[in-house]
Amino acid sequence: MSKEFADAVLKRLEPKVDRMLEQIGDKCPHVAREDGIYDNTGSDWWTSGFWPGLLWVMYSVTGKERYKEAAWRWDEEIEQWFVKTNEELHHDVGFQFLMTAVIKHTLTGDKDGLRRGLEAANFLAGRFNPAGGFIRAWNMDKYGWAIIDCMMNISLLYWASRVSGDPRFKHIASIHADTALQHFIRQDGSVNHIVSFDPESGEFLESFGGQGYGPHSAWSRGQAWAIYGMANTYRNTGEIRYLEAAKRVAHYYIASLPEDSVPYWDFRAEQRDGQEEPRDSSAAAIAASGLLEIAKLVPAVEAELYYNKAYRILQSLTEHYGTWDQPNHEAILIKGTGHKPANSNIHVSLIYGDYFYVEAIAKISGWQQCIF
């Protein structure tokens, strides 16, 4: 039944994405607010890979050339920022180039995609702090900061080791993952968003709430990044500690979900004035795709738990958070939350939510070409 469900959703997605192609055009989308119109951010922004990544998934699933043609230019577009003065390229080059250059090379054999993917991997490896064993986040003066989101970006380093034969990439990725095990993932399976280290000595200093409610909260999108990122790390290394961590975070996530399986923006946010906290459909989509990865990695007797919960999340997103009856809406999912503590991008559509929803639906339908 789940494959039939996914196949039916893909039939709805194709005309939807075709409309998005016309509506979005050359824009670099990040957020669509109440009017349903996606904004146009710079291609150096961390979300610039998700729209072309969505198109590459659609091409891989359908074989339709229009998706490949629309996605083709994006790795070249983002690459220009390596030689421009800017403050945006940072740890998220994994998101930007895995979903453009790497998938382009994987699907088509394009040599420039290979070159650009390795260029991005070298850039990411250059952000590694050997004293603390972490990849530095962002480009501010917080030289000792690392974030849980980067667990997704290190897949770029594992890919680079495979295609280049150079083990330094995977060594850096695994050291960063071990730091995340020690300082980000708590014993109960909840997750810190930001951790600060002394950049000189590598000593742990403190954790911050970041986009979560507070230092000891459980930001739902951070939980999703950890589920998926740790599962990827196990798949790339075969080291059981990473799978155990992915499962621990997944169990916390699943146990904390509300009835409709789409999380609030933070599992530990305090209710105020009797009003319901905002949901985050993007966290749901990311977690669903990550849970499907765990289901592929564990024994069959365990897999049903993760697979069925991913299926339930996707059903709920499809039935209650989709824009199927809104042809002028440029996004797929509604009710995403970007940064609640900053009061930024609440009750909106987010391009990464759209991407991971399409990716997860494709996986249930049988798609095997995982980008991460």
The residues that are catalytic are 92, 149
CA-CA-CA-CA dihedral for 17, 22, 28, 32, to nearest 10: -70
| Alpha-carbon 146 to chain mean position | 16
Spatial distance between the Cα atoms of 236 and 171, rounded to a whole number of angstroms: 11
Is there a contact between 151 and 95 (Cβ–Cβ < 8 Å)? no
Q: How many Å apart are CA 324 and CA 252, to the nearest integer?
A: 31
Q: In the chain, at which residue ranges do the beta strands (DSSP E only) sit?
A: 31-32, 128-129, 134-135, 145-147, 194-197, 204-208, 336-339, 344-350
* Strand 194-197 relative to strand 204-208, pairing: antiparallel
Determine the 3-state secondary structure of 294 from DSSP: helix
Please state the length of the chain: 372
Taking alpha carbons only, the member of 324, 230, 235 closest to residue 286 is 230
> How far is 30 from 48, CA to CA, in rounded Å?
8
Q: Which helix (H) or strand (E) is 20 found in, with range? A: helix 2-24
105 with 117: CB under 8 angstroms? yes
Structure tokens at 5: 């469900």
Judged on CB neighbours under 10 Å (0-12, 13-18, 19+), 20 is buried
User: Please, are residues 314 and 292 in contact by the beta-carbon 8 Å criterion?
Assistant: no
d(CA 91, CA 137): 6
Nearest Cα to 148, choosing from 196, 192, 182, 187? 192
